[in-house]
Chains A and B, each alone.
Chain A
Amino acid sequence: MMDAPQIVKTRPLLIARNVSKRYGAVQALQDVSASVYPGEVLGIVGESGSGKSTFLRCLNLEEDPDHGSYTLDLPDVQGNLFDLDRYARRMLCATRIGIVYQNPHLGLLMKHSSSGNVAERLLIAGERRFGVLREKARDALDASEFPLDRMDAPPIELSGGMQQRVQLAKAIALEPALLLLDEPTTGLDVSVQALVLDTLKKLQQERKITMVIVSHDLGVIRTLSDRVMVMKGGQVVEEGLADQVFQDPQHAYTQQLVHAKL
């Protein structure tokens, strides 16, 4: 059953305006703007080097853009987040933003236990009860469909798909307002990829998490996103509803991209 269409009255959760970033001679991002509404999934597609990962890193406050503004519409979060100091950034990232990297080495402590990786988030947020840490880590791992009998195995002993699930559990442990996914399924084989996407889809439906997902794989974007942004050379070349962009691509590059899919 589809709900009857309604006029969107909510304000966007995330608004990024004119984000630019230059690495030496390379203009990685040029005036990229995006807004994401609560519960929505925004997909960002583009070829390697199009600036999509840089944009995501900016949204995770890991990277300082040259200029631009970034706001999150949350009760106790005000102003341009790029202006926050190191301490405020860390607290905001730990409690409000979850991220899953393509490379699990970036997001996980490989030699600590998987549950410990999830618990770290809770520890940063100030949880000091072992029992609660354990329980919440278990819940988060369960939600990301990680086999619980391996919850104390270090990620280095786990398969790629499992590592991504640990990252996902870590990202959702504190029920963040925003979940960022940087090529979450790249490097996994097709069947595992489908399983991880299933989990993501399920999580999205159950928890209505606002997501920004970056991928060069149109299949992934098509499966998950409501809206799509196509990037090329650090600029947004096309933006629209997922179906609309994939069925009726307007920009030459998007047409090429859609047709290139085997």
Chain B
Amino acid sequence: MSLKSLTKDWEPMSYGFLDASAKREIRRKTLKAIAVPGCQMPYASREVPMARGWGTGGLQISCTLINLQTTVKVIDQGADDSVNAASIRRFLSRVSGAPTTMDTLKADLIQSRHRIPEEKLREDQVLVLQVPNPEPLRPVQPNMSIARQMHADADYGRMWLQLYEQIVRSGRVMQGASYPSLVHGRFVMTPSPIPRWDVSKMHMAKHLTILSAGREKRLHAVPPYTRVEPLVFDDVPYQVEEHQDLTCARSGAKGFFMNEIPQDDGSSTYEVSDSEFGVKTIRKGDGEPVEIGATWYHAGEMTQ
């Protein structure tokens, strides 16, 4: 038996772009992150052919998890067809040969920036979120060594103080995206800059969520069926964006997270932020046989 028979032939590039040791590093740290829900795991973030801050963390997770049977969907701010989403999707399929889709129901691996799809995810799906700043304590504690101690001690008083200040100053909690949330009753995490509308979708969700920050070199995870509770005062209820009564001007879908489109006359119309969900709604309206999955929100109300 020769060494050659035991090893693969030399190739100009590794499968899925990242080399084997980089993928092993990410697999190990992802397992660790899943074992301790919400706890940030430092990892050796590699260079990918994209600028830091454009989703390199998410891309590394996707490159690690991908194989020929993985159907990939990439979302950028709800849209599948923006330049960033299209480029990442094309890159992933080019380095792995994996099929791609825009349909949430058909996807196995969903890499997303700023949104969680409106259709419920299943147990066999993995959501990868791109995170610019994984440290929820950064606004209240610029020293990262002390912030780590605060996580260890579950010393989150300052986070609530931040909310207190916002209510005192503005009459309500002003935190829009990246709403700090308590995972599994232990670690406070930032759920990446998803709107408040999407944070409740993570609570006891069936799917695995991996949140990865390439520039900050840290990742954390929300395993399936894990509590994710946004930080709130007992007597000030958590409020999502007031999109319950908005109707999509293109698809007619009502009660979902909307993008505001300003008009010439100063008014606004709205369209569903989850673009593929909007497209499917339109096609269904036209009588095409389209399958729309169960949604997290019904008539603007969270169902669970």
By beta carbon, the residue of chain B nearest A128 is: B234
Interface window among A21-29, A110-118, A213-221: A110-118
Which residues from B are CB-within-8-Å of A109?
A: 161
Q: B interface, how many residues as a size bin?
A: 10 to 19
Q: Is the CB of A130 within 8 A of B167?
A: yes
Interface: B165 (CB within 8 A): yes
What is the distance, in angstroms, from A88's C-beta to the closest C-beta of chain B?
Answer: 10
Within A100-129, which residues are at the interface with B (CB < 8 Å)? 109, 112-113, 115-116, 119-120, 123-124, 128-129
Interface: A56 (CB within 8 A): no
What is the distance, in angstroms, from A128's C-beta to the closest C-beta of chain B?
Answer: 5
Interface: A152 (CB within 8 A): yes
What is the distance, in angstroms, from B191's C-beta to the closest C-beta of chain A?
Answer: 20
Interface window among B124-132, B152-160, B273-281: B152-160
Interface: A90 (CB within 8 A): yes
Most buried by A among B155, B157, B234, B235: B157
Q: Is the CB of B236 within 8 A of A120?
A: no
Which residues from A are CB-within-8-Å of B157?
A: 120, 123-124
Most buried by B among A90, A112, A131: A112
Knowing A113-B168, A115-B168, A116-B168, say if A128 contacts B149 (CB, 8 Å).
no
Within A14-68, which residues are at the interface with B (CB < 8 Å)? none
Interface: B10 (CB within 8 A): no
Q: In the complex, A123 Cα to B162 Cα: how many Å?
A: 11
Which residues from A are CB-within-8-Å of B91?
A: none
Q: In the complex, A128 Cα to B159 Cα: how many Å?
A: 11
Which residues from A are CB-within-8-Å of B233?
A: 128-130, 133
Question: Chain A interface secondary structure, helix, strand, loop or mixed?
Answer: helix
Q: Is the CB of B161 within 8 A of A123?
A: yes
Q: Is the CB of B234 within 8 A of A119?
A: no
Which residues from B are CB-within-8-Å of A261?
A: none
Interface: B164 (CB within 8 A): yes
Q: In the complex, A8 Cα to B169 Cα: how many Å?
A: 50
Interface string of A84-101 (1 = CB under 8 A from B): 001100100000000000
Most buried by A among B153, B168, B235: B168
Q: Is the CB of B153 within 8 A of A116?
A: no
Q: In the complex, A116 Cα to B166 Cα: how many Å?
A: 10
Which residues from B are CB-within-8-Å of A119?
A: 161, 164
Which residues from B are CB-within-8-Å of A86?
A: 149, 153
Which residues from A are CB-within-8-Å of B167?
A: 130
Within A159-208, which residues are at the interface with B (CB < 8 Å)? none
By beta carbon, the residue of chain A nearest B231 is: A128
What is the distance, in angstroms, from A117's C-beta to the closest C-beta of chain B?
Answer: 9
By beta carbon, the residue of chain B nearest A152 is: B168
Choose one: A112, A124, A128, A130; the contact of B155 (CB below 8 Å): A124
Q: Is the CB of B234 within 8 A of A112?
A: no
Q: In the complex, A128 Cα to B155 Cα: how many Å?
A: 14
Which residues from A are CB-within-8-Å of B168?
A: 113, 115-116, 152
What is the distance, in angstroms, from A129's C-beta to the closest C-beta of chain B?
Answer: 5
Which residues from A are CB-within-8-Å of B165?
A: 112-113, 116
A-B contact pairs, 24 of them (CB 8 A): A86-B149, A87-B153, A90-B155, A112-B161, A113-B165, A116-B164, A119-B161, A119-B164, A120-B157, A123-B158, A123-B160, A124-B155, A124-B157, A128-B160, A128-B233, A128-B234, A129-B233, A130-B164, A130-B167, A130-B233, A130-B234, A133-B164, A152-B168, A152-B169
Residues in chain B within 8 A of chain A (CB atoms): 149, 153, 155, 157-158, 160-161, 164-165, 167-169, 233-236
Q: Nearest 5 A-B pairs (CB), nearest first?
A: A123-B157, A130-B233, A124-B157, A129-B234, A123-B160
- Given contacts A112-B161, A116-B168, A129-B233, could you give 8 more A-B pairs where the C-beta distance is less than 8 Å? A87-B153, A109-B161, A113-B168, A119-B164, A120-B157, A130-B234, A131-B235, A152-B168
